[in-house]
Chain A
Amino acid sequence: MKDLLPAYAAGSLPDADRERVRLHLADCARCRADLASWQALASPHREPPPDPAALIRGVLTRSALTPPEKSPPRRLRHLAGLMLAEARLIRMAVPIASALVMALGVGLVLWQATAGAELVLALVAPIVAAAGVAGTYRSGHDPAAEVVAATPTSGRLLLLVRIALVFGYDLALAVAASAALAATGAAGTASMNTLVTAWLGPMVLLSSISLLIAVRFGPDVALGAAVGLWAVRVLVGGVLVRDGRLARFVVEVWTTNAPVLAVSAALTTVAFILAGREPPGVRHATHPM
């Protein structure tokens, strides 16, 4: 009987069926209630539903005509919030050790002028920054890995913010060390500009290599590789071998020049592209992705 109620409410039932339904309704309260609902739907006084095409057109037109909210302040606030949040995830041991190592380098140059300030800074600043960058990228071992995986913010942006914090801190340390040495005159005739030029290129190059290897193979391999390349510079370009084509090539690479900076920028770009992908060897427990 219930199946006949919509047609009864619309007035489209044949006479025989309509009479049968009318008799049933006299005795059935539940069907009377259902009929009231069907009659409300079939009422000619109801507002017709909106035209979907017109609705979408109206929304799009309104969206196009409404000026956007001023976004730069929000972006800046968002970026500042990200930097603050990422700064909390950096282990305090890393900036403290970096500062101690840099201070030790400056102290030794001031105490013993046997090794030039340029050489000491050119060798200390890059390894401090590269070790910091290697230790900063911890991927799945990050204490906030689950939160990072669930956040709508891009993982690349988070990595960029964290690397900027660590590298920026080491950059500031190296500039402060150069300024201190230039101010005290311990650097001999070297100006502030000369001192910065001595370490900037190697620092950027070794850090970019360290980041790329950390993203691809993990922080431990990155630290080992950075120390290995740095040791090549110390041994082949200075302590053990001073002359020869290989030594000259190593020293040439360990300077600030356009090709070194360009290669560093390219390596960093590749690292950030790779950072958004799964590292090799990852196995998903429940589903292939």
Chain B
Amino acid sequence: MLGPPLAVALGVAAALAFPEPSDTTRARILLGGLEMAVPLAAAVACATLIGQDPAREVQLSAFTPYRITLLRRMTVVLAWTASVALLTAAVLILTGWWERWPQNHGALAGQLTWLAPTLALSGLGFAAGAVLRSPAAAGAIVTTVWAVQQFFGDAVQAHQPGRLLYLFATTRGVVPGDWTANRLTLLGTGAALIALALVLLGRPERLISEEDE
């Protein structure tokens, strides 16, 4: 639960630590904290949802399907992340920093800055957890995808499919016209990955089979 607030704090600290920045650069760092750090924190939390539940056997014998319980837990994580991100965005809008980044896309649609990558990366973490049943392995997958998009941003955006799946299109996008399609694609990808995870969790006995090996 500490992840999203710490991610926001990291963005603010980075903006304050930058020497002699222009307002545009500082605004980019602040929005970058929302678009880069907040989704990573939420995704790592979602990656750890599956695999280390101490009450797993009890959950599997309960009337409520375990995948519904896991989905509820993921909803709590995302709701908390959204609360922190919305509060931060509101502060940035009220203080004028939101407008100082030219590609801010407004106060309302601009919320997709953090919402789309958060849902996509969290869906990836949840699906990786369902496939690998190991928080460490799922966390490594999430951080790798995030890092690849950071360090190979130009290569990823060199073609249309890559641009549509690029997580940081608001602060590092090379084709601003693709922004809306990019955000919608990320939202759809996130929903598809969550659906995939729920399908995989339809056989919850897989979650305990490895412990018996």
Chain A residues close to B by CB (< 8 Å): 91, 93-94, 96-98, 101, 104-105, 108, 111-112, 114-115, 119-120, 123-124, 127-128, 131-132, 134-136, 138, 140-141, 143, 219-220, 223-224, 227-228, 230-232, 234-236, 238-241, 243-247
Cβ 8 A contact of B155, one of A98, A114, A230, A236: A114
Q: Are B211 and A231 in contact (CB under 8 A)?
A: no
Q: Could you tell me if A141 and B52 are in contact, using CB atoms closer than 8 angstroms?
A: yes
Contact among A136, A223, A243 for B139, CB-based, below 8 A: A223
Is B29 an interface residue, CB under 8 A from the partner? yes
Residue-wise interface mask of B (15-26) relative to A, using a CB-CB cutoff of 8 A (1 in contact, 0 not) = 001110000000
- Pick the contact of A93: B33, B40, B137 (CB < 8 A): B137
**Residue ID in chain A nearest B3 by CB atoms:** A224
- Whole-angstrom distance between the Cβ of B76 and the nearest chain A Cβ: 15
By a CB distance below 8 angstroms, the chain B residues around A104 are 144, 148
Q: Which of B41-49, B83-91, B199-207 contacts A (4 or more CB under 8 A)?
A: B41-49
Q: Is the CB of A112 within 8 A of B135?
A: no
For the complex of A and B, list the 4 residue pairs with the smallest distance between their C-beta atoms, beginning with the closest: A135-B136, A97-B137, A246-B17, A93-B134
Q: Taking A98-B140, A231-B10 as given, write out 5 further A-B residue pairs in contact, using a Cβ cutoff of 8 Å, ordered by the A residue number.
A: A101-B144, A108-B151, A135-B135, A136-B136, A239-B36
> Given A123-B147, A127-B143, A223-B135, A114 and B152 touching (CB < 8 A)?
yes
Q: Which residues in B have some Cβ–Cβ distance to A below 8 Å?
A: 2-3, 6-7, 10, 13-14, 17-19, 28-29, 32-33, 36-37, 40-41, 44-45, 47-48, 52, 54, 132-141, 143-144, 147-148, 150-152, 154-155, 210-211
What are 21 A-B contacts defined by CB distance under 8 Å? A93-B132, A93-B134, A97-B138, A101-B144, A104-B144, A104-B148, A108-B152, A127-B147, A131-B137, A131-B139, A140-B54, A143-B211, A223-B135, A235-B33, A239-B36, A240-B33, A241-B14, A241-B17, A244-B17, A244-B19, A245-B19
Report the Cα distance A67→B141, complex, angstroms.
55
Q: List, in ascending order, chain A residues with CB within 8 A of B10's CB.
A: 228, 231-232, 235-236
A246-B13 contact, Cβ under 8 Å, with A140-B54, A227-B40, A227-B44: yes
Residues of B within 8 A of A93 (CB): 132-134, 137
Residues of A within 8 A of B32 (CB): 235, 239-240
- Chain B: interface secondary structure? helix
Chain A residues whose C-beta falls within 8 Å of the C-beta of B37 in the assembled complex = 231, 235
Instruction: Contact check, B150 vs A239: say whether CB atoms are below 8 A apart.
Output: yes
Main secondary structure of the interface of A (DSSP, over half): helix
CA distance A101 to B151 in the complex (A): 15
Decide: A220 and B151 in contact? CB cutoff 8 A.
Answer: no
Does B140 lie within 8 Å of A228, measured CB to CB? no
Are B54 and A119 in contact, CB atoms less than 8 angstroms apart? no
Query: B134 touching A135 by the CB < 8 A rule?
Result: yes
Q: Within the complex, which residue of A132, A220, A234 is in contact with B52, where a contact is CB–CB below 8 Å?
A: A220
B19/A127 in contact, CB under 8 A: no
Contacts of B135 in A (CB 8 A): 135, 219-220, 223
A-chain residues with CB within 8 Å of residue B14 when the two chains form the complex: 235-236, 240-241, 246
In contact, B151 and A223 (Cβ under 8 angstroms): no
Q: How far is it, in angstroms, between the C-alpha of A104 and the C-alpha of B132 when the chains are bound? A: 17
Which residues in A have their C-beta under 8 angstroms from that of B150? 234, 238-239
Given A123-B147, A224-B45, A235-B32: A138 and B52 interface contact (C-beta under 8 Å):
yes
- For the complex, what is the distance from the CA of A239 to the CA of B7, rounded to whole Å? 15
Of all chain A residues, which has the CB nearest B2?
A: A224
In angstroms, Cα B131 to Cα A97, docked, is 11
From residue B58, how far is it (CB to closest CB) to chain A in Å?
14
B33: chain A residues at CB < 8 Å are 235, 240
B49 nearest CB neighbor, chain A only: A220
Q: Are A94 and B41 in contact (CB under 8 A)?
A: no
Contact A127 B136 (CB under 8 A): no
Assembly CA distance A69 to B190 (angstroms):
63
